[in-house]
Amino acid sequence: MDKKREALSRAMAEFLDIPKDLVMDLPKVTMIGRNEFYLENHRGIIEYNLTRLRINLSRGFLEIQGNNLEIKNLLPDEMSVYGDINMIKFFD
Amino acid sequence: MDNRVLNQMEGIIGIRLFGTKVEKVINMALARGIYIWEIKRREDFLEFKIRRSAYEALSNIVSENNYKMEIINEKGLPFFKNTIKRRFGFFGGAVLFLLAIYFVSSFIWFIEVVNNEKVDSGTIMMTAARHGLYKGAAKWNFSRTDVEEAMMLDINQLSYIKVDIRGVKATIEVVEKILPGDEITGPCHIVAAKDGVVEEILLLEGQVNVKEGDVVSKGDILISGIVFYQPNPLFSEIEEDAKEDKPVDIVRARGIVRARVWYEGYGECKRTTERIINTGRMNRQIIVKSPWFDFRIYGAADPGYVQAKTQVKKREIESPIGVFGWNDLVSIERKKVVTHLSENEAVKIARQKAMQTLTDAMKQDKLPREMEIEILSAPSDPVLRCKVAVDVIEDIAKPEPINEQ
């Protein structure tokens, strides 16, 4: 059922030329250099320490690995992370 | 995302959160719309900042879930209140100072008038003062445009006034009217502006009183504006009636009368001149004065100059027991220099002076090529005198209104 809804949403977004992050609630990631990371449409924090940050998404989760990671701002649907980022991974 | 000014206004609290899986508390706080920033992981706790208004909600979440938290620091305006209360004198003084500056800057302290040449600055400032703009006037007591309009009505010689107020200074910028000259438009004669011999006459209107070759004096009527009837021998019968109707015509005489006029310049030069010049040598003395004795601390007492000019600067204080202070004396040596000029040199200088007076009399820089130079004194005279005469042909016509009474 969910897959059908997702497919319909994607088709609608493509047909009407609407950004998918709005229609499908997809995460929007912005990186400035390798030290600043911005994320919109998150669903909370799963795990946080200085080397690893796991962020819950609408589908799966996202993992950031690095050193001296710090959550600079945290709002209900957006966040920014500063630190020496080595890797970003998406998990379903 | 982050409004630092708003955070400072509302107050910022630094929190230290203890326990395992503290991410749970963070997520619950997020769900309640609490804004959290600068989250840092330490050894066994988490540090972050929240707004003062969110503290109560967060402490409820923490206690409900059996976590522990403590306040690290408090910043922002609400926490500054105590400091303000403690140092009320200082902050009150600062506020009072700012208010005083604001109050004092609400008055006009300087007025400047620019771009006026004929109309006196004093007159303009007096008029402005009459309409509320004066030194010490409060800015709220007058309107800039009202002052401009009222001043325009009061001063006829001005065509534009702009009052510009910057801080405590008012600048009144004016543009003066350019009035037309006193041109004669009514009936007039043409009279001679200078003495001369008439060379050429061009009549445009009026009746000519002189002919070529006549010697005229200043003020003589050259072309009359009163035209008498002169019968035409060819139409004597027809014009008989016109004569009875209008025997005399008063017109505005117009024309050009060119005449030969003379100008003279005179100059003289002494063969022997005496001048006093500075030799360049000088002596400075500084004398300390007291009621009991005077003491020279610098310079020679008598430099031995034959002729000198002395400048004295006195710095003295009078007290009941006498005068204290010091005098600064500067003696500049001078000497008399006698210069003897040769006859040629003296003639040259006298001629230059004569030329200069001639140029001034003619009111023009360019002199005619032909001029008569006459040396009036003998070579043995102590003063050489020189006269330069020139004759030129120029228009001497000058309109003069006719007094009809």
pLDDT digits (tens, 9 = 90+) for B296-336: 888 888 888 888 889 999 888 887 788 888 999 999 999 98
Q: Where are the beta strands (DSSP E) in chain A?
A: 28-32, 36-40, 45-48, 52-56, 61-74, 78-91
* Residue found under tokens 């991974």: A89
Q: Is residue B256 over pLDDT 70?
A: yes
What confidence category does residue B240 fall into, taking pLDDT thresholds of 50, 70 and 90?
low
Residues 3 through 32 of chain B touching chain A, CB cutoff 8 Å: 23, 26-27, 30-31
d(CA B228, CA B225): 10
d(CA B210, CA B222): 6
Single-letter residue type at B85: K
Interval B366-376: pLDDT, tens: 667 677 888 88
Contacts of A80 in chain B (CB under 8 A): 1
Report the pLDDT averaged over residues B167-173.
Answer: 93
* Yes or no, beta carbons of B37 and A72 under 8 Å apart: yes
Candidate from B230-234, B337-341, B386-390, B397-401 with smallest mean pLDDT? B230-234
Q: Which residue has the higher pLDDT, B234 or B78?
A: B78
SS3 category, B398: strand
Report the pLDDT averaged over residues B178-205.
Answer: 85
CB atoms within 10 A of CB A71: 24
d(CA B61, CA B38): 19
CB B79 within 8 A of CB B11: yes
Domain boundary assignment for chain A: 26-91
- Is the domain covering A26-91 a CATH 2.60.40.2000 domain? yes
Contacts of B39 in chain A (CB under 8 A): 48, 70-72, 74
CB A14 within 8 A of CB A24: no
Q: Is residue B229 over pLDDT 80?
A: no
pLDDT value of position A1:
52
Q: Is residue B230 over pLDDT 90?
A: no
SS3 category, B320: coil
pLDDT value of position B237:
61
DSSP state of A44: -
Q: Which two tokens stand for residue B240?
A: 């008989």
What confidence category does residue B245 fall into, taking pLDDT thresholds of 50, 70 and 90?
low
What confidence category does residue A85 fall into, taking pLDDT thresholds of 50, 70 and 90?
very high
Compare all CA atoms of chain A with the CA of B4 and give the residue at the minimum distance.
A73
Interval A19-54: pLDDT, tens: 777 777 788 999 999 999 999 999 999 999 999 999
Interval B329-385: pLDDT, tens: 999 999 989 988 888 888 888 888 988 888 888 877 666 767 788 888 877 788 888
pLDDT value of position B242:
56
CB atoms within 10 A of CB B382: 9
Q: What is the rounded average pLDDT for all residues in chain B?
A: 87
pLDDT value of position B100:
94
SS3 category, B5: helix
Compare all CA atoms of chain A with the CA of B26 and give the residue at the minimum distance.
A45
pLDDT value of position B126:
93
Determine contact: A45 vs chain B, CB below 8 A: yes
Determine contact: A68 vs chain B, CB below 8 A: no
SS3 category, B393: strand
Q: What is the percentage of chain B residues whose pLDDT exceeds 70?
A: 94
